[in-house]
Amino acid sequence: MDPLLNYTDKVVLITGAASGFGKLLAKEFADRGAKLVLGDINEAGLDEVVMGLQQSDKPAAGQRCDVSKEADIKGLVDLAKSTYGRLDIAINNAGVAQEFTPIAQTSEELLDLQLNINTKSVLFGMKHQIPLMQEQGEGVILNVSSMAGLGGSPKIGAYSAAKHAVVGLTKTAAVECGRKNIRINAVCPFFTLTPMVTDSELTQHAPVEDVTNFLSQGSPMKRLGEPEEIVNVMLLLCSPGNTYMTGQTIAIDGGVSAF
């Protein structure tokens, strides 16, 4: 196995692990020797992922985790410690999209939902992940933001605000933890073919192919990202050989940010 992608015996925590990036990440890390700690609010989907790994003799533990609740987030970190005795890598991946809504029509309820899930999950995730990693003397945290966290995003302002906060939290925590040998970065994907897009509000009004073709026009590559393309970058960012990169927000966007 390439040493850059060798995660043998590394304990990896992933939120939002029942589908999308999280589910694929669990498989890819497990195939590279990692021990998994998985959380999701979707208990049935989470159980399916955990059982699938266990049936393949891959170490995996799972627990229901509502990332809008600090107690649930702490509980997932506690599960890592009680099950494996440590936490090497944490990926704060869980998130939720929003319906297209102009700023002038954005409700307090919509903003609260976005901040509670997309921002609190990262802040409180790091709050409880960092002390355990500090005890160990090392660790890696990867937060999932969005291209909406790097620029203006018409009609998804609440989502954009929450994802901009993820970028700010990532950079702040990276500076705070630099001397503690804890690397903290974020990825900012463009629209990707995960359930967040294929099962979104848009597909309720038009065929999925029409929706993806429309969204693709915003990318110089004229296509959406494949989940594997995003996950491959995430694996590289968490690599045991990638030891001097921290505080970065990496756009995985088919060239959108080049405009």
Which positions are catalytic? 159
For residue 19, give both structure tokens. 């589908």
For residue 40, give both structure tokens. 């999701």
d(CA 25, CA 28): 5
Alpha helices in the chain (DSSP H): 20-31, 43-55, 70-84, 108-114, 120-136, 157-177, 195-198, 208-216, 227-237
Return all residues near 82 (Cβ < 8 A) that are at least 6 apart: none
Strands 89-92 and 60-64, sheet pairing: unpaired
Q: Give bridge partners of residue 198 from the DSSP assignment.
A: none
Question: How many residues are given for the chain?
Answer: 259
Q: What is the largest CA-CA distance in the chain?
A: 53
Of 100, 26, 41, nearest to 76 by C-alpha is 41
Alpha helices in 85-156 (DSSP H): 108-114, 120-136
Q: Computed from CA positions of residues 5, 73, 16, 110, in that sequence, does the dihedral angle turn out positive or negative?
A: negative
User: Distance from first CA to last CA of the chain, Å, rounded?
Assistant: 38
